[in-house]
A and B are shown apart, each in its own frame.
Chain A
Amino acid sequence: MKKNQMLEKIIHGIFLLLGLITVGCVLLITVYLVISGIPAIREIGLIKFLFGKEWASTAAEPAYGILPFILTSIYGTAGAIAIGVPIGFMTAVYLSKMASPKVKEIMQSAVSLLAGIPSVVYGLVGMLVLVPGIRKVFHVPDGASLLAAIIVLAIMILPSIIKMSVTALDAVPKEYEDASLALGATPIETYFKVSVPAAKSGIAAAVVLGVGRAIGEAMAVMMVAGNVPNMPDSLFQSVRFLTTAVSSEMSYSSGLQRQALFSIALVLFLFIMLINATLNFFLKREKE
């Protein structure tokens, strides 16, 4: 009997350990990023690092200012949200409320497919379709630009926004809509003035999820944005994002330059943690 109890205790312990692995991973990632990110910030100076307008890591007198990357990431994400959210939102309302079951099923598998396409494939198509297209349409010397990145990101965040909004809209109690219809509102008025407000936390969570996806995307952006560390003054400028700043120099970096790349990753990580906290806030409200 005692042997059995021992066994149960050991197994309980093993499962507890397995459960705590995720917590351990998060701690490990945080600690590693902080430890490897702090030295360069210390050496360069926090203000100079965050608000310096020039990044010239390989110059004779190197400058490590990441303001261009931060602004590019913010502008790029904002642009992707500005294009992707309206389209995704409208699609979600249609799929949740108006589409016939067959259309809904087909479109939902199409959206899942969009979510499953690897980011390098988006990058490849962007490189060969979008970049030359922008060059021709806007008569600019090079199409690899902030605009190309914004369009690719807008497409890539569509599936997250559509899926999550559809789930939120599907969960709106039918009674709400019935009451509105009975009072004389048309179906479309009901969807936008009753269902959408009722699902607003879920839709907000969808938007935040989109922000997270857009700010964290590296490879597709790397292939279409041009990767020159310019300040993002115009849509047609070749720019570098926080993510691409890390990946474009990592393979040949060393010394302070390499440490500065870790610091950029730390900044990106802090952005992501902020977004995650916001996402959790909306998800919790949606549950209530």
Chain B
Amino acid sequence: MLNQPLSKKRKNFELLMKSLMILSVGLTGALVLFLMIYVLWQGLPNITWELLSTKPSYLTERIGILPDILNTVYIVLATLILVLPLGVGAAIYLTEYASNKKVVGMIEYAAETLSGIPSIIYGLVGMLLFSNSMGTCLMAGALTLVIMNLPTIMRTTQESLKTVPQSYREGAFGLGAGKWRVVRTVVLPGCVDGVITGCILAVGRILGESAALLFTAGFAHAVNGLIDGLAAPGATLTVALYVYAKEQGEFGVAFAIAAILMVLTVLINFAATSVQKYFAKRRNV
């Protein structure tokens, strides 16, 4: 009886589901391939040294994205510097200090809520909170992004803190170390991998962000130093892409930026998985 043939109905179900699954996987894969190839094919030929190294000039009708590249770097730096202590601190509080379950639940619920809020709302609130007081500038954008990326850094740090063996902490306490000393010498070194992963994810999110920056950081294209740059309005690469494509119809430049962003996205994904793999391996040894 074991090899009794399947009834027609069951056979049809098998066939239908199998073909639907393969169709879906094929579609998803093809989509990724198409997007990659199309954007690179349209964008790479437009990337020239002149584009990368100059600022836009109306006189010579030349478009350069150097200011946008610099602005992106500044905003990434400013956001990370501000969000790291906050996120790591919050994670340490949750895993090491917090004893009240209600407080923990509240903080975690707040973090989940933050990660669900769409970026356009961050943009609006950032505009009200920061841009109205300090003016439209990169710093206002960075502060908005700090709130946005807080949950990411918190989560990755928390996850890596959970992998620090409890016995390490007990050992340190047993030797007479105070709580702060244990946190500083045992716990903090253990969360390096989470912090690095969090940073990579945050950089990816900042690079891709546009709606939250449009009204907080503005869209100027001036070349500035780091400090002046943060105090002045400026477009990041994504915002510049939007402005060039939607408002100015400069699709060549837009695709060049899109290709750069695409390559960066691939690199960031690769870095994130490599870091995770590296630390997972080291932990198992």
Contacts and interface: CB of A to CB of B under 8 A. Distances in A.
Interface of A: 4, 7-8, 11-12, 14-16, 18-23, 25-26, 28-29, 32-33, 36, 86-91, 93-95, 98-99, 107, 109-114, 116-121, 123-125, 127-129, 155, 158, 162, 186, 188-189, 191-192, 212, 215-219, 222-223, 243, 246-247, 250-251, 262, 265, 268-269, 272-273, 275-276, 279-280
Contacts of B268: 116
Given A113-B269, A158-B28, A247-B211, A124 B116 contact: no
Contact of A251 (B97, B215, B251): B215
Interface of A is mostly: helix
Given A14-B89, A94-B24, A189-B13, A109 B121 contact: no
A148 to B, nearest CB: 14
Contacts of A29: 117, 121-122, 125, 147
Contacts of A280: 109, 112
Given A16-B97, A90-B20, A189-B14, A118 B210 contact: yes
A251 to B, nearest CB: 7
B145 interface: no
A216 B119 contact: yes
Contacts of B92: 15, 18
11 contacts: A18-B85, A32-B128, A32-B129, A90-B25, A91-B24, A114-B32, A212-B116, A218-B120, A218-B211, A243-B211, A247-B123
Interface in B144-175: 147, 150-151, 154
A269 B121 contact: yes
B279 interface: no
A136 B29 CA distance: 25
A124 to B, nearest CB: 5
B179 interface: yes
A191 B89 CA distance: 43
B269 A216 contact: no
Nearest to B240: A120
A94 B251 CA distance: 38
Contacts, number: 241
A216 B211 CA distance: 10
Interface string B197-216: 00000001001111100110
Given A120-B242, A269-B121, A125 B39 contact: yes
A15 B89 contact: yes
B79 interface: no
A33 B117 CA distance: 12
A238 to B, nearest CB: 14
Interface in B170-188: 178-180, 183
A109 B271 CA distance: 12
A270 to B, nearest CB: 11
A243 B36 CA distance: 27
A90 B208 contact: no
A19 B93 contact: yes
Query: Which of A14, A28, A29, A192 counts the most B-chain CB atoms under 10 A from its CB?
Result: A29
The 10 closest A-B pairs by CB, nearest first: A216-B118, A18-B89, A118-B208, A19-B93, A90-B24, A15-B93, A218-B120, A94-B21, A22-B110, A116-B265
B20 A276 contact: no
Nearest to B33: A110
B154 A22 contact: yes
